[in-house]
Amino acid sequence: MIAKDKISSLREELNNLSETNLSIAEQGILQFIKEQIDKEEELVSNFDKSTSENNYDKAVSDFFQLIQRTNLMYAYIMQPSVLSMLSNEKFSKIVQDLLDCISQIISDVVLTFKHNMKQFGLESVNVNITSNPPSISISLAIKNA
């Protein structure tokens, strides 16, 4: 998955950012982002593993958790207090890279579903992206449900 490379790159970028140059609020946001990236990485790995082991029920469960966490991060980043901190160039780049990363995660998972619809027992996959408030909603039509 391409997303794994993006997660690694983002984690490296987060670890290289000196927290001493950040305000207390920015440090809190940075800590939140680090925690969420760790959880996203774990869920992506679990999804990948479940799919490769043909444990499609577990993979769908991991997917639902990924979507929830992604929407949580979108909602958090779009708070006015967080948006106001994007004037810091380094911090702004991290937020942009985070958005790219979580978009790639969702893209990789949806493509996995698309290429394995029969194995997952799916009839269709529909993706809806909303900009205000930012969120991703994905509908899975399950056969014989």
Q: Among 2-11, 31-40, 77-86, 100-109, which stretch is predicted with the lowest mean pLDDT? A: 77-86
* Rounded (10°) angle between helices 24-52 and 2-16: 160
Query: What is this structure's pTM?
Result: 0.83
Confidence of residue 41 (pLDDT cuts 50, 70, 90): very high
* 25 vs 12, higher pLDDT: 12
Average pLDDT, the chain: 87
Encoded tokens for 48: 């990948």
Structure confidence at residue 145 (pLDDT): 58
- Rounded (10°) CA dihedral 36, 4, 64, 56: -150
Range of the domain at 125: 2-142
pLDDT > 80? residue 33: yes
How many domains are contained in the chain? 1
pLDDT in tens, 62-119: 999 999 998 888 888 888 878 787 777 877 888 888 888 988 999 999 999 999 999 9
Examine the pLDDT at 59 and tell me if it is beyond 90.
yes
CA angle 127, 130, 134 (to 5 degrees): 120
CB distance 77 to 95 below 8 Å = yes
CA–CA gap between residue 138 and residue 130 (Å, rounded): 11
